[in-house]
Chain A
């Protein structure tokens, strides 16, 4: 163990370097593989997303489209007023999930404009609309305004 000062320092730097390299590799891999893109219903119909891709979709819950069955399955349509897509979901919907209101669903794209969601997010309070949805609606020019976001 009789290392010189320089050797000690080099061994430390080498060890640190390899940890950093591994971490950087993991981060890069995770960023290419583990992220989920956000789409509006129009994006989905135009861009030809492969079935089986994990997606986040957002828009307004189409009025009159919400169907619930006794075993807690829910089906509804998300629209950006141009195109709409079908979302199926099993579980509890957020407290502020409403027809005509903004919503974001995350899940697996099934092809044919339908998504099986495992997460559904709605706004947190009256003034709040998921930011992704608000931005998408602003782009479409159908943003209703309102307080806050």
Chain B
């Protein structure tokens, strides 16, 4: 079975090469038979990589310890779910997953792209095939997960226990779906640059793919953040760690791309910029892959490093980013100017959005790469942490978010700033009110929190204003209004929800300033106050579970005199690797969370412990969910319009009497 997987992977490399060369040749020479092969090649490549992936998963499930990768990362007593997720808990397996998702997107495009011009589809799939072949070669040459052992051990080494978690089971695939999903936008850009028209129709085809990738990346980042929050036991949700930045950069650029494709689709403007963004977004995904997988940076994500791998990925990176940009430089000047617009207009606002998002991505990029550059240049080792990012990226975000409600309300082509400001007066009033009230209530507290809270309310109220303005007309009955609200285009709902979700996240982030941290050593029945709660150490005891033994500290939680349940935190020793971890205890009250992290259980039953009370913290991730849901709504609308667009294009073509 393992050998079948290995052969399938080698075969996939050859079919990916066919997918790269033949359709492109067909597209350039206008040979539609050759161009049409793209779809079949994409299906076959996907089938083969899927087979390889399934073979590796099977080896994990069966605990086949003749495979090096399984020995190093699995254990026969692991629960089934972690055997399956264990496949991507290591470098080789996760690269295979990366490739699987890449070819999956190509196959999905081949399946759904039937309404696309044949030559565009062929060249897009060809570029996708080129990326696929490069990474298949990388896996085969430097990171082969199918290597066998001659001396078969009886037991595997197990995986890093902090990765043994439901969060790990979903976070990497989500993130990869986002990261790799942007490859489609890249392939669209390069494919269209090689030949083909770059116009509103192009934007209409590329938009759903960008949106899909964006939704997954949003969820993946949020999930990774929550996983770090509860698993690492430090209570932080974002560390500006290079690996986190590696996922944030494509998100920022991808968000910019998402907005600029709207301009391109609706107004046929910003073409050059949109094409450039498509290339840059996926370039940042590739850069992220390089940073994480090459071992140039240290993090929980960088598995054992091998210089050959780093150089190989760097080569792929140079080939695709460099190739894409060179092609762009050659072809972009030939692109025709699109629709005109006044600086104060929806288009103008979206340009501001793009400017700020792209600039903040650059700020994050500089902060992430500067330590690497400096170390290479003069050997100085530095760390760039939160203070840098708080001074560079964060102000850019804040200014951008202040502008968002205006942009959302402005009309296309030429906007009426005065009218929009009047319309937004209520939202502004609400935001200021929220700010004042929180100021008054938390007097003497940190200033940043009420300001941030006001910003969040401004975003939410701004979105609500947009919805109200679209739906509400004087004199209409309630039922008509509800009907109008339901009848509102889903993409408009999507925008409103995504922006409101951002506002929710902003409120959650601002509220972290009010968090309370308590460090103490307590004995049994000794009360300790944490924010509005009092915790009492009930018991410290030992416990064993599947694959671990632990020292548990159990606290009861009270608010005033009312009991609010209990919270448990433990020091866990994972058998096998004998590796200790801290299991944080988290209990949610309303929108806030009580977070406990045991330091040490001292002889005599005393417990040294850290408690946090984090008000409104769940909003950080809740907001991300709302954002992603907005994306899903928008996507469901787009599909309908995609069909409509094709219909109108076909009828247009029929009228003109020429085949498309």
Contacts A8-B340, A23-B362, A30-B387: A37 and B382 contacting too (C-beta < 8 A)? yes
When the two chains form their complex, are residues A31 and B342 in contact, meaning their CB atoms are under 8 A apart? no
B556 touches A (CB below 8 Å): no
When the two chains form their complex, are residues B160 and A31 in contact, meaning their CB atoms are under 8 A apart? no
When the two chains form their complex, are residues B577 and A1 in contact, meaning their CB atoms are under 8 A apart? no
Cα separation A124 to B521 with both chains bound (whole Å) = 26
Whole-angstrom distance between the Cβ of B161 and the nearest chain A Cβ: 8
Cα separation A93 to B598 with both chains bound (whole Å) = 11
Binds A, one of B27-35, B579-587, B631-639: B579-587
Contacts A92-B610, A149-B304: A27 and B382 contacting too (C-beta < 8 A)? no
B21 touches A (CB below 8 Å): no
Binds A, one of B4-12, B388-396, B439-447, B470-478: B388-396
Contacts A20-B359, A71-B521, A130-B298: A34 and B384 contacting too (C-beta < 8 A)? yes
Indicate with 1 or 0, residue by residue over A116-149, a CB within 8 angstroms of chain B CB atoms. Answer: 0000000011111011100100000000000111
A63 touches B (CB below 8 Å): no
When the two chains form their complex, are residues B388 and A30 in contact, meaning their CB atoms are under 8 A apart? yes
A50 touches B (CB below 8 Å): no
Q: Which of A7-43 contact B (CB under 8 A)?
A: 8, 11-12, 15-16, 19-20, 23, 26-27, 29-31, 34-38
When the two chains form their complex, are residues A31 and B396 in contact, meaning their CB atoms are under 8 A apart? no
When the two chains form their complex, are residues B388 and A92 in contact, meaning their CB atoms are under 8 A apart? no
A72 touches B (CB below 8 Å): yes
Cα separation A19 to B254 with both chains bound (whole Å) = 20
When the two chains form their complex, are residues A56 and B383 in contact, meaning their CB atoms are under 8 A apart? yes
Whole-angstrom distance between the Cβ of B110 and the nearest chain A Cβ: 38
Cα separation A15 to B349 with both chains bound (whole Å) = 12
When the two chains form their complex, are residues A23 and B342 in contact, meaning their CB atoms are under 8 A apart? no
When the two chains form their complex, are residues B298 and A31 in contact, meaning their CB atoms are under 8 A apart? no
Q: B360 contacts which chain A residues (CB < 8 A)?
A: 23
Q: Which of B593-608 contact A (CB under 8 A)?
A: 597, 599, 608
Q: A91 contacts which chain B residues (CB < 8 A)?
A: 519, 610
Partner of B581, one of A95, A106, A126: A95
Q: B362 contacts which chain A residues (CB < 8 A)?
A: 23
When the two chains form their complex, are residues A36 and B382 in contact, meaning their CB atoms are under 8 A apart? yes
Partner of A37, one of B340, B341, B381, B519: B381
B366 touches A (CB below 8 Å): yes
Partner of B381, one of A8, A34, A38: A38
Q: A31 contacts which chain B residues (CB < 8 A)?
A: 366-367, 370, 384, 388
Q: Which of B350-400 contact A (CB under 8 A)?
A: 351-352, 355-356, 359-360, 362-363, 366-367, 370-371, 380-385, 387-388, 391-392, 395-396
Partner of B340, one of A5, A20, A29, A34: A5
Cα separation A96 to B161 with both chains bound (whole Å) = 13
Size category, B interface? 35 or more
Whole-angstrom distance between the Cβ of B231 and the nearest chain A Cβ: 11
Q: A37 contacts which chain B residues (CB < 8 A)?
A: 380-382
Report how many A-B pairs have Cβ atoms within 8 Å.
125
Whole-angstrom distance between the Cβ of B119 and the nearest chain A Cβ: 33
When the two chains form their complex, are residues A26 and B391 in contact, meaning their CB atoms are under 8 A apart? yes
Whole-angstrom distance between the Cβ of B91 and the nearest chain A Cβ: 11
When the two chains form their complex, are residues B359 and A19 in contact, meaning their CB atoms are under 8 A apart? yes
Cα separation A23 to B360 with both chains bound (whole Å) = 8
Q: A20 contacts which chain B residues (CB < 8 A)?
A: 355, 359
* Most central of B356, B384, B392 by chain A CB within 10 Å: B392
Q: A35 contacts which chain B residues (CB < 8 A)?
A: 370-371, 382-384, 388
B414 touches A (CB below 8 Å): yes
Q: A26 contacts which chain B residues (CB < 8 A)?
A: 363, 391-392, 395
Whole-angstrom distance between the Cβ of A62 and the nearest chain B Cβ: 20
B656 touches A (CB below 8 Å): no
When the two chains form their complex, are residues B396 and A124 in contact, meaning their CB atoms are under 8 A apart? no
Known: A11-B343, A92-B519, A125-B579. 19 other contacts (CB 8 A): A12-B343, A12-B348, A26-B392, A30-B388, A31-B384, A31-B388, A34-B391, A35-B382, A35-B388, A36-B382, A70-B521, A71-B521, A72-B520, A93-B599, A95-B233, A95-B579, A95-B580, A95-B581, A126-B577
What are 27 A-B contacts with C-beta separation under 8 Å?
A: A1-B342, A1-B414, A8-B341, A11-B343, A12-B343, A19-B355, A23-B359, A23-B362, A23-B363, A23-B396, A26-B363, A26-B395, A29-B391, A30-B392, A34-B384, A34-B391, A37-B382, A38-B382, A56-B382, A72-B521, A90-B519, A92-B233, A95-B579, A96-B579, A125-B160, A148-B305, A149-B295
A residues apposed to B, CB below 8 Å: 1, 3, 5, 8, 11-12, 15-16, 19-20, 23, 26-27, 29-31, 34-38, 56, 70-72, 90-93, 95-96, 106, 124-128, 130-132, 135, 147-149
B residues apposed to A, CB below 8 Å: 160, 162, 233, 295, 297-298, 300, 303-305, 340-344, 348, 351-352, 355-356, 359-360, 362-363, 366-367, 370-371, 380-385, 387-388, 391-392, 395-396, 414, 519-521, 571, 577, 579-582, 597, 599, 608, 610
